């Protein structure tokens, strides 16, 4: 094979060098190869693309790529959430209905993206579509969430001075809680100044069925909500927690008649508490006030003294947020309501 013939082969495969090609045995060294031989040699000696020929990517690089892809997906999801929130904020009193084009212009997003966001928000109740003009408006789900915030803010602000007074007169920890499904959420808390005391942070959740505040609220809810709470399971928190559905129903019946609830180490071992419900202007039980402390101080005699103070405080706060005696939103016998 002469130099020109090798040149033709190298043109077919530039990755080869004379040194790399030195392992190829020359076919001849006296005559030019015709075109058929060149094609044969190129096909014969060209490296075939295979796993052996492909460069191996380092494991760390592969892992980094996967991590980068995961991060990118998370960023995309967060971006979608931000876009959805921005879409909701576009609406105002002046523009309470907007079409896809208007939303797209205000957000600076493609119409297809806005349409996808709008469909998701409609499915969750955060947007509604006017069937007459196909424009979008804020949905009832936002109203429901806003009502929850308003309810918490109204009750907390109106109850605060009375909660301080209740702690001063009892010397024990005072709670303000609301009902969220089968759980209570503490929205305000004033701890006792004594060394041994009941502790609970704002935002802490507990099962409604075994807390005084939960019983005080659950008793005045529709039967469907009570049965739903029972169906979710009555899991014991202490050895004294009552987990029998029949016993729970009896306890709720007592609360309806008495207007207050008592908890005796059912939620926290060594702690007892008394609670009473708070009603809003519609007669709905929206919160509960509770006083709690260690069993060494909260004796039966102490509970007897605490009950009227807790009930009176709850009644005062109820009046402050618009409740008038005799109102009922649950269909319960009014004579059993405080």
What is the H or E stretch that residue 183 is in?
Answer: strand 183-190
Relative orientation angle of helices 223-231 and 245-258, to the nearest 10 degrees: 150
* Helix or strand (DSSP H, E) at 292: strand 285-294
Q: In angstroms, rounded to a whole number, what is the distance separating the alpha carbons of residues 122 and 138?
A: 9
**Is residue 59 in some structural domain?**
no
pLDDT of res. 77: 58
Number of domains in the chain: 3
In a domain, 9, yes or no: yes
181 in a structural domain: yes
| Residue-level pLDDT at 31 | 47
Please list, residue by residue across 122-132, b when 16 or more beta carbons sit within 10 angstroms of its beta carbon and e when fewer do. Answer: eeeebbbbeee
Q: Which of 96, 122, 138 is the last residue of a domain?
A: 138
3-state secondary structure of 185: strand
CATH of residue 265: 3.30.450.40
Q: Structural domain of residue 97, as residue ranges?
A: 71-138
All residues at 6 or more sequence positions from 237 whose CB lies less than 8 Å from its CB, including other chains: 206, 207, 210, 266, 267, 268
The length of the chain in residues reads 338
Asked whether residue 55 is domain-assigned, the answer is no
Q: Is residue 77 part of a domain?
A: yes
CB-based contact 67:40 (threshold 8 Å): no
pTM: 0.56
- Within-domain flag for 76: yes
Asked whether residue 80 falls in the same domain as residue 158, the answer is no
The phi and psi torsions of 21 (rounded to 5 degrees) equal: -80, 0
Are 154 and 128 in a shared domain? no
Taking only the tens place, the pLDDT of each residue in 264-275 is: 999 999 999 999
User: Within a 10 A sphere around the Cβ of 280, how many other Cβ atoms?
Assistant: 18
pLDDT at residue 116, as a whole number? 93
Same domain, 214 and 324: yes
pLDDT of 34 = 54
Give 98's DSSP letter: B
CB 180 within 8 A of CB 206: no
Q: Is residue 61 part of a domain?
A: no
pLDDT digits (tens, 9 = 90+) for 206-251: 999 999 999 999 999 999 999 999 998 999 999 999 999 999 999 9
- 308 and 202 in one domain? yes
Q: Which residues of the chain have pLDDT under 50?
A: 1-10, 12, 15-33, 38, 47-54, 67, 330-331, 333-338
Could you tell me the end-to-end alpha-carbon distance of the chain, in angstroms, rounded to an integer?
111
DSSP bridge pairs for 294: 271
Same domain, 156 and 125: no
> Residue 296 in contact with residue 196, Cβ under 8 Å?
yes
For residues 132 and 151, state if they share a domain: no
Q: In this predicted structure, what is the pLDDT of residue 201?
A: 74
What's the mean per-residue pLDDT of the chain? Answer: 80
Last residue in a domain, options 138, 164, 182: 138
Q: Are residues 262 and 131 in the same domain?
A: no
Say how far apart CA 319 and CA 296 lie, in whole Å: 34
Burial class (CB in 10 A: 0-12, 13-18, 19+), 60: exposed
Q: What are the CA-CA distances from residue 288 to residues 114, 259, 313, 316 (Å)?
A: 43, 11, 10, 12
Structure tokens at 236: 């014991």
Residue ranges of alpha helices (H) inside the chain are 3-12, 35-45, 59-90, 100-107, 111-123, 140-170, 212-218, 223-231, 245-258, 300-320
Question: Are both 273 and 303 inside the same structural domain?
Answer: yes
């Amino acid at each position: 094979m002469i130099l020109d013939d090798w040149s033709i082969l190298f043109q077919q495969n530039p990755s080869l060098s004379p040194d790399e090609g030195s392992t190829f045995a020359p076919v001849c060294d006296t005559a030019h190869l015709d075109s058929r031989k060149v094609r044969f040699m190129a096909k014969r000696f060209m490296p075939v693309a295979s796993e052996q020929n492909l460069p191996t990517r380092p494991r760390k690089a592969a892992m980094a790529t996967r991590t980068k892809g995961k991060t990118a997906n998370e960023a995309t999801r967060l971006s979608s959430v931000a876009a959805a929130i921005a879409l909701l904020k576009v609406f105002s009193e002046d523009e309470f209905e907007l079409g896809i084009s208007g939303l797209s212009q205000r957000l600076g997003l493609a119409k297809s993206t806005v349409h996808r966001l709008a469909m998701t928000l409609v499915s969750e109740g955060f947007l509604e579509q006017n069937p007459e003009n196909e424009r979008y408006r804020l949905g009832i789900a936002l109203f429901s969430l806003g009502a929850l915030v308003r309810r918490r803010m109204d009750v907390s602000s109106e109850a605060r001075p009375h909660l301080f007074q209740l702690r001063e007169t009892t010397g024990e920890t005072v709670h303000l809680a609301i009902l969220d499904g089968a759980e209570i959420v503490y929205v305000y808390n004033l701890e006792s100044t004594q060394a041994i005391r009941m502790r609970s942070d704002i935002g802490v959740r507990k099962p409604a069925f075994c807390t005084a505040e939960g019983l005080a609220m659950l008793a005045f809810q529709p039967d469907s909500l009570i049965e739903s709470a029972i169906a979710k399971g009555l899991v014991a928190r202490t050895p004294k927690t009552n987990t029998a559905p029949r016993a729970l129903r009896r306890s709720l019946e007592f609360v309806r008649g008495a207007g207050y609830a008592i908890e005796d180490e059912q939620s926290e071992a060594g702690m007892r508490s008394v609670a009473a419900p708070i009603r809003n202007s519609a007669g709905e039980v929206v919160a509960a006030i509770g006083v709690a402390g260690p069993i060494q101080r909260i004796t039966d005699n102490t509970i007897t003294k605490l009950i009227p103070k807790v009930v009176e405080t709850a009644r005062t706060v109820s009046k402050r947020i618009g409740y008038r005696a005799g109102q009922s939103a649950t269909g319960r016998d009014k004579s059993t309501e405080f």
